[in-house]
């Protein structure tokens, strides 16, 4: 298991919300420019970014960078509420997959690994896609363009009330 945390974050966290960048290509700087420079937010809106093979220019003829594929990059400090889902930022973690509606196996592997780590720290944590949340429904979002029932099954998360 990849270890991201020395200790459980102190902020109260009860859910993870998954997003996608709705772009083929993105770097941490790309998110920073969009959220901090353009939107004027204090930091990147998501806590984690999961890169794809297009996230960094490759030196190879393939124009894909397999080393970058599935790489988990820090966005905002997990101790601080994100800016990714209006009304649900305070108690959630926001994870953004780089891509539109096609994600690589490495990205999905990294996503599940990250979710598993939160599940270890918060056994009753719930898992949602942005499109399932009130603000996402209002905005007609399909983000992250993944079947969340499938993802919850992979992570053995039922979202049942405890």
Query: Three-state SS for 80?
Result: coil
C-beta of 112: minimal distance to Zn ion in Å?
A: 18
Return d(Cα 68, Cα 138) in angstroms, integer: 34
Bridge partners of residue 19, in order along the sequence: 96
54 binds Zn ion (CB under 5 A): no
User: Among the candidate windows 24-32, 101-109, 118-126, 141-149, which touches Zn ion by CB under 5 A?
Assistant: 141-149
User: How many Cα neighbours within 13 Å face the side chain of 121?
Assistant: 20
| Binder of Zn ion out of 19, 47, 54, 71 (CB under 5 A) | 19
Nearer to Zn ion, 65 or 82 (CB): 82
Bridge partners of residue 18, in order along the sequence: 95, 129
143 binds Zn ion (CB under 5 A): yes
Residues 77-136 binding Zn ion (CB under 5 A) are: 130
C-beta of 36: minimal distance to Zn ion in Å?
A: 18
Bridge partners of residue 95, in order along the sequence: 18, 48
C-beta of 63: minimal distance to Zn ion in Å?
A: 27
C-beta of 149: minimal distance to Zn ion in Å?
A: 18
158 backbone φψ class: left, alpha, beta (φ>0; ψ -120 to 50): alpha
C-beta of 80: minimal distance to Zn ion in Å?
A: 18
Nearer to Zn ion, 19 or 47 (CB): 19
**Interface size with Zn ion, residues (CB under 5 A):** 3
Helix, strand, coil percent content, the chain, rounded in steps of 5: 25, 15, 60
Query: Three-state SS for 15?
Result: strand
Nearer to Zn ion, 22 or 36 (CB): 22
Give the footprint of Zn ion on this chain (CB under 5 A). Answer: 19, 130, 143
């Amino acid at each position: 298991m990849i270890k991201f945390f020395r200790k459980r974050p102190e902020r109260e966290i009860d859910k993870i919300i998954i997003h996608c960048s709705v772009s083929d290509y993105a770097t941490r700087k790309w998110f920073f420019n969009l959220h901090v420079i353009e939107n004027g937010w204090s930091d990147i809106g998501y806590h984690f970014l999961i890169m794809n093979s297009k996230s960094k220019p490759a030196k190879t003829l393939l124009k894909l960078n397999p080393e970058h594929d599935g790489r988990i990059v820090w966005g905002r400090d997990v101790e601080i509420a994100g800016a990714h889902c209006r009304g649900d930022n305070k108690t959630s973690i926001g994870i953004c997959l780089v891509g539109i509606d096609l994600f690589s196996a490495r990205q999905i592997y990294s996503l599940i690994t990250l979710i598993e780590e939160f599940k270890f720290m918060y056994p009753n944590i719930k898992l949602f896609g942005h499109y399932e949340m009130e603000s996402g429904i209002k905005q007609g979002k399909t983000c992250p363009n993944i079947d969340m029932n499938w993802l919850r099954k992979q992570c053995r998360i039922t979202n049942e009330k405890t």
